[in-house]
């Protein structure tokens, strides 16, 4: 386990798994953070999918209070 496994800041991206089934819900399987040099990302997966499907990495959009 690396020293950077625990992160205190919010991830920049969320990793999702979309099964190859019609109307199947996406499952959050991890997150990623930019590295210090900003040229790559560090990814932490909490689940490894074994079913056929696709993995998507989407920008994190933290929930806010009331919409402005």
Q: Report which of 35, 52, 61, 36 is spatially closest to residue 44, judged by C-alpha positions.
A: 35
Q: Range of 32's domain?
A: 13-59
Residue 54 lies in a domain: yes
Per-residue pLDDT, 66: 62
At residue 63, the pLDDT reads: 78
Give the number of domains in the chain. Answer: 1
Q: Is residue 48 part of a domain?
A: yes
Rounded Cα–Cα distance for residues 41 and 56 (Å): 14
Note the pTM of the prediction, 2 decimals.
0.76
Domain presence at residue 32: yes
In a domain, 26, yes or no: yes
Sign of CA dihedral 2, 55, 14, 36: positive
4's CB contacts (< 8 A; 6+ apart) are 42
What's the pLDDT at 6?
54
Residue 36 located in a structural domain: yes
């Amino acid at each position: 386990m690396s020293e950077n496994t625990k992160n205190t800041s919010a991830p920049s991206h969320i990793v999702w798994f979309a099964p190859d089934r019609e109307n199947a819900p996406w499952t959050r399987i991890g997150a990623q953070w930019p590295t210090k040099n900003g040229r790559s990302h560090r990814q932490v997966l909490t689940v490894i999918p074994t079913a056929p499907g696709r993995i998507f990495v989407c920008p994190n959009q933290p929930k806010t209070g009331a919409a402005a």
